[in-house]
Amino acid sequence: MLRVRCLRGGSRGAEAAHLIGAMVGRAVSGWVSRAFRSTSSSAAAQLPLTVDEPVTDHAPEECPVSAYNEWDPLEEVIVGRAENACVPPFTVEVKANTYEKYWPFYQQYGGQTFPKDHVKKAVAEIEEMCNILQHEGVTVRRPEPIDWSLEYRTPDFTSTGMYAAMPRDILIVVGNEIIEAPMAWRARFFEYRAYRPLIKEYFRRGAKWTTAPKPTMSDDLYDQDYPIRTVEDRHKLAAQGKFVTTEFEPCFDAADFIRAGTDIFVQRSQVTNFMGIEWMRRHLSPTYKIHIISFKDPNPMHIDATFNIIGPGLVLSNPDRPCRQIDMFKKAGWTVVTPPTPLIPDNHPLWMSSKWLSMNVLMLDEKRVMVDANEMTIQKMFENLGINTIKVNIRHANSLGGGFHCWTTDVRRRGSLQSYFL
């Protein structure tokens, strides 16, 4: 039987700390103001200070950012953009994360836009997805449109950009804190720029904002001789625990983490290394516990099309990529659900993902799920679980590398911090 424990005090005592910090801050600022009022008045007249959007104190309940799991009632969400999406250059880290049949596509079009007609259809699908979310009572926010085709240079590499389509990859909300992931692809080095206006707004309104250490992404971060030639190579390397990213410096994509209250699960993948996981563990302890889990997956990258937690003690587990630690979930009283085989046809391009985007669903609450309109068998599975399906077609958007969970980052869910894994 699943046991749930409610924790008072919120995220790492954030409520108390926030209140005490605000009180101390106001007291100190008042003393400083009185002490320097006489000497600063003339200088202030000569050098007027203007602040367009001042940072103000907010009580915890006013914080615009709050989410502890993947299924509490969704109130606000960021949905990505397909506009201006570009094919990333065919570098070693991209090669390690893509399927062999698409390598000629990357070699030919790397640094150029994805096929324009396809992107146009993806844009229309995501706009309709946003409309449906709004109809379901969810506030929808979007990143800024950016020209990703521009080449940029750092002291360590040169690249073009990719897109701001998958906010789940770069942003994760834990309690009232929004964490910006460092990423691991050079084509995604500056992806955070599309989200900064939103993040700054949330920060000004009271949210915590943390940016993980940005990797240099120098050659030392990647195994330049990573020996991928066939699918068999991938299986062998994954079984040996070998990945294209090294442990030279921390790196991670936020989409390799998935939340269940005080317990957060993560996989070591091609884009998330152990140093990145350790950074998150230290940053979030002691309130949150990071569990490393692994799968029989020849190409691990992002956990939510392999292991997707959809409710308290309820998880979808990909039958093609079984979890090696599944028994610990069963012992904790969790229900493990095996999703049906995806129905997406073989001739539909999936340049950056597998067919298992069918299980990459977005929970609007415990009884509502956004699911692919073309995937009738998984719709039936959810209905048998007593979960109402909200059917949306994003088939062309899938080609860019994500399902509903990937295309979104939940900013605010109505709920409290609890423990579901005792």
Active-site residue identified among 18, 297, 406, 410: 406
Nearest CA to 301 out of 344, 250, 265, 267 is that of: 267
Active-site residue identified among 72, 86, 130, 253: 253
Which position has the token pair 């309109």? 373
Beta sheet of 208-211, edge-to-edge order: 171-174, 177-180, 208-211
Residue 409 DSSP symbol: E
Q: How many helices (H) and strands (E) does the chain have?
A: 11, 19
Q: Is the peptide bond before 286 cis (omega within 30 degrees of 0)?
A: yes
Is 130 among the catalytic positions? no
Is 253 among the catalytic positions? yes
> In terms of DSSP bridges, do strands 368-372 and 388-392 run parallel, antiparallel, or are they unpaired?
parallel
What are 410's two structure tokens?
Answer: 């939940």
> In terms of DSSP bridges, do strands 368-372 and 362-365 run parallel, antiparallel, or are they unpaired?
antiparallel
Determine the distance from the C-alpha atom of residue 296 to the mean position of all C-alpha atoms in its chain, rounded to a whole number: 22
Residue 264 DSSP symbol: E
Active-site residue identified among 118, 302, 396, 405: 302
Which position has the token pair 């049949």? 101
Coil, helix or strand for 249?
Answer: coil
> Side-chain half-sphere of 182: how many Cα atoms within 13 Å?
20
What are 269's two structure tokens?
Answer: 């993948």
Q: Give 66-122 as a DSSP string.
A: BB-BSSSPEEEEEE-B-TT-BPPP--HHHHHHS-GGGHHHHHHHTTSBPPHHHHHHH
Q: Give 108-119 as a DSSP string.
A: HHTTSBPPHHHH
Is 302 among the catalytic positions? yes
Residues forming the active site: 253, 302, 406
